[in-house]
Amino acid sequence: MDMVKLAVIYYSSTGTNYQLSKWAEEAAKDAGAEVKVVKVPELAPESAIESNPAWKAHVEETKDVPEAASDDIEWADAIIFSVPTRFGNLPSQMKQFIDMQGGLWASGKTVNKVVSAMTSAQNAHGGQEATILALYTSMMHWGAILVPPGYTDQVLFGAGGNPYGTSVSQGQDGKMVEDVEAAVKHQAKRTVEIAKKIVGS
């Protein structure tokens, strides 16, 4: 059977969701998938980025990460999205990227993509679950197959126990509060395993 093709599509301003994406990439490769990590285009004005040292540093750090395109979605059997929450919803950067996929959607090329999602916020009840559910709503319109982690492994409880997708709080120091690496890796492996069943059927 051919390798499952996984696109990890993320948006990150200061690096948290980039790190989640890299953990997902590592685990998915271990599970036998071919993986692309791509970022959605930045929409924020240069002045906003320049005024935040952590944001500016992360933009520089990830300047060589390819930008996501419709071709990545068409190529992928499975997609893991990783985004911060913005007022309990998707950041505009990811929302615009999804909104621009009307051509793929209209031609049926989003149907049966296996999809999972992760997120972050500055506090545990800062809209994390709502953000993932908002993204999943769009994926239902795509005809995608949702693969949440649920409670399929004990590692999820140590990471906060979010059944919709791994979520993490970012402290004022910019570091992750919860230890979610194992939960991210479990979610990525589960996504690949389910995709294998879909692709192979």
Whether 132 shows a pLDDT value over 80: the answer reads yes
More confident residue, 34 or 201: 34
> What's the pLDDT score for residue 201?
65
What integer best gives the mean pLDDT of the chain? 96
Question: How high is the pLDDT of residue 172?
Answer: 85
| Three-state DSSP class for residue 50 | helix
**Percent of the chain at pLDDT exceeding 70:** 99
Split at pLDDT 50, 70, 90, the class of 124 is confident
Mean pLDDT calculated for residue range 3-29: 97
> Distance between CA atoms of 168 and 160, rounded to whole angstroms?
8
Q: Two tokens at 120?
A: 């972050």
For the record, the structure tokens of 169 come out as: 């709080």
- Mean per-residue pLDDT for 116-121? 97
Domain count across the chain:
1
Q: What DSSP character marks residue 100?
A: T
C-beta of residue 75 within 8 angstroms of C-beta of residue 45: no
Contact 52, 14 (CB under 8 A): yes
The predicted pLDDT at position 200 comes to 80
Predicted local distance difference test score (pLDDT) of residue 125: 87
6 neighbors 78 (Cβ within 8 angstroms): yes
pTM as predicted? 0.96
Domain extent, residue 152, equals 5-200
Q: What's the rounded mean pLDDT across residues 50-67? A: 96
State residue 1's pLDDT score. Answer: 57
Beta-carbon count within 10 A of 6 CB: 27
Query: For 156-165, what is the mean pLDDT?
Result: 94
- pLDDT tens-digit series, residues 20-54: 999 999 999 999 999 999 999 999 999 999 999 99
Find the CATH number of the domain harbouring 158.
3.40.50.360
The pLDDT score that the predictor gives to residue 174 is 85
User: Which of 50, 70, 53, 64 shows the shortest CA–CA distance to 14?
Assistant: 53
